[in-house]
Every structure is written in structure tokens, then in C-alpha cells.
């Protein structure tokens, strides 16, 4: 299942194809699957996740606990995926509640579980590819967030969001 927001122009059609072929494969990556499974086993309560989210949003810089998420666990692995492409601005991986597992850049918040990028891609454990609207930044570069489920044995156990440079996808 693919959910697409925005118009169905040429950019979006290429992005949709790319999301369902190349990016969806990353949701089966063994290193990412293991990291998400490990985080899910911790069984963080939603109250703990929300407390971390509040702490995260109040932090102006890059705190040690944020660096652990960037450079520990699956952080180096997704950073390598990110470096080997010309089409990704960032990647972040979420657990089964939408909490950050690893990331290439500091995200605006720790908990993505209250946002469409998580809801639609995790899809209650079923999984789906979610292509958000294409937007232009201040430099007139087109970006879109694409989210795919992290899959283990046919079940979504988390999600990954990619910030894609749309003009680099053909």
C-alpha cells in the first residue's frame, strides 16, 4: 500500500516509484531491523517517550544523548547509506511507538509517533509506503519526506523517514 499526498505531477510519480523500489528495500536492512527490535524490547512507556520528547525539544544544541542516537546503534550504518547517495538530506529510524532509534541529523523532536510520517508508514503494524507533499526550501530545492516501514517477518516493527531531494530522483 502506498499513500501519496500532494499532486501527481512528474516529480511525484518518479518519487513514488523510487519510494516503492529503492527506499522500501532499506526497511528490510538487517542492521536497521536489529536496532529497531532492540529498542522495541526496551519497552519504553509512552510517558517516558513524551518526557524525553519534551527534554529534546527544549535542548538548543546537540546533547550527549542525541549524539548517542546519531553515532551509536544503527547511526553509523544509516550515515553510510546517506553518504552513498546524492538524493537524501537526512534519514531517521523510529521504533514501534515512533521514538527515534537512530538518525543522521538532529530531528526537531524525539517522538514522531504523533505525526503522519509514522502513522501512515507503521500503519498499525501492517506497514505502508508514505510519500508526503513536495515542498521547496528557501534555496528553491525541492524536498519530500518519504517514510517506509521497518519490516520483520512480514510485520512492521518501526519506520524510517527519508528527506529526499526530489530533483535527484529520476
2-11, 151-160, 161-170 — which is least confidently predicted?
Answer: 2-11
| pLDDT, tens digit, 9 for 90 and up, residues 123-158 | 989 999 998 888 888 888 888 889 999 999 999 999
Q: How far is CA 114 from CA 61, 88, 110, 122, in A?
A: 23, 23, 11, 12
- We find that the CATH architecture of domain 2-168 is 2-Layer Sandwich (3.30)
Residue ranges of domains in the chain: 2-168
For the cut 80, the answer to whether the pLDDT of residue 6 exceeds it is no
Cα-flanking dihedrals φ and ψ of residue 80, to 5°? -65, -40
State residue 170's pLDDT score. 66
For the cut 90, the answer to whether the pLDDT of residue 16 exceeds it is no
Strands 129-131, 135-136: pairing is unpaired
| E strand or H helix that includes residue 67 | helix 64-71
Q: How far is CA 143 from CA 65, 104, 136, in A?
A: 28, 16, 6
- Cα 168 from Cα 170, distance rounded (Å): 6
Enter the pTM of the model: 0.89
Average pLDDT over residues 86-102: 92
Nearest to 68 by CA among 110, 118, 30: 110
| E strand or H helix that includes residue 144 | strand 142-152
Radius of gyration of the chain (CA): 15
State residue 112's pLDDT score. 92
Percent of the chain scoring above 70 in pLDDT? 92
- Cα 87 from Cα 130, distance rounded (Å): 17
Mean pLDDT of all residues belonging to the chain: 87
State residue 4's pLDDT score. 47
DSSP class per residue in 70-101 = HHSTTHHHHHHHHHT-SSEEEEEEE-TTSBEE
State residue 7's pLDDT score. 43
For the cut 80, the answer to whether the pLDDT of residue 29 exceeds it is yes
Amino acid at each position: 500500500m502506498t499513500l501519496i499526498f500532494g499532486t501527481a505531477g512528474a516529480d511525484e510519480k518518479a518519487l513514488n516509484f523510487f519510494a516503492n523500489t529503492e527506499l522500501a528495500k532499506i526497511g528490510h536492512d538487517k542492521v536497521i531491523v536489529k536496532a529497531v527490535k532492540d529498542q522495541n524490547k526496551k519497552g519504553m512507556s509512552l510517558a517516558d517517550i513524551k518526557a524525553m520528547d519534551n527534554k529534546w525539544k527544549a535542548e538548543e544544541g546537540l546533547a550527549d544523548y542525541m549524539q548517542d542516537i546519531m553515532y551509536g546503534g544503527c547511526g553509523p550504518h544509516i550515515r553510510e547509506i546517506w553518504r552513498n547517495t546524492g538524493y537524501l538530506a537526512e534519514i531517521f529510524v523510529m521504533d514501534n511507538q515512533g521514538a527515534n532509534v537512530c538518525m543522521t541529523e538532529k530531528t526537531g523532536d524525539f517522538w514522531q509517533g504523533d505525526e503522519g510520517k509514522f502513522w501512515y508508514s507503521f500503519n498499525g503494524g501492517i506497514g505502508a509506503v508514505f510519500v508526503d507533499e513536495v515542498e521547496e526550501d528557501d534555496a528553491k530545492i525541492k524536498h519530500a519526506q518519504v517514510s517506509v516501514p521497518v519490516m520483520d517477518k512480514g510485520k512492521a516493527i518501526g519506520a524510517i523517514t527519508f528527506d529526499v531531494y526530489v530533483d535527484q530522483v529520476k
